[in-house]
Amino acid sequence: MAQQQAAVRIRVEAQNDALQPVAQQWAQRLALPLDIDDAEFALQATEAGLQLQQLGEDAPGPVRVDFVEGAVAHRRLFGGGSGQMIAKAVGVQQGVRPRVLDATAGLGKDAFVLASLGCDMSLIERQPIIGALLEDGLARAAGDLDVGAIVSRMQLLKGNAIDLIRAWEGEPPQVIYLDPMFPHREKSALVKKEMRLFRPLVGDDMDAPALLAAALALASHRVVVKRPRKAPSIEGPKPSHSLEGKSSRYDIYPKKALKP
């Protein structure tokens, strides 16, 4: 998602005494305190998994990664399969399931959709807290009868996407998918809870042009960038075409045709 962890105060806490060892483990891994009173966020170890809760009045509810139930499961079952715009954008078609690198993984929702359609996915997340939520969600989903096989196609990498792409070894991904955070001032209820929660943590992706350039250098077949429908393209080479939906669009930068 974004380039650096902003200077916000985060504590780790456990929902109950039995989960204290889990909270201590995450606190150690993320170099976060267990007990501070003036925290703005709490990373909480709960019976349902790891979650991030903004503290204070009028804070939105907690966010956690759940690939088994909720909105992600509904989209898997009823989202339109390979007819979804993201599937068309990355080149899913009869006999073609490209290897995709999602370099701005976030909570992994788009990557999960593509994995559920049969794509082998690599995911990069550079914000450590979001990476922890994603790691926890993947681990819990791995044991589920319905989605275990799907998340087995999702490999999580942590770190700066530009650095990891530039240092990539082995076979390059056929498609690189980017969904960078973008500057906006909108405060309406239309802005998703996750985005309202994460913006103080991650800021905006000011290095999106460098990320696009690195992606274009590595991807063997195409780069796809998700943008708000009316937002300008990322600075740099112009996309050859776009697929447009109600609120977002996919800018497509082809290099070579994907064939069965």
Binding-site residues for S-adenosyl-L-methionine, in ranges, read: 125-126, 179
Burial class (CB in 10 A: 0-12, 13-18, 19+), 69: exposed
- Alpha-carbon dihedral sign for residues 119, 175, 72, 18: positive
Write out the binding residues: 125-126, 179
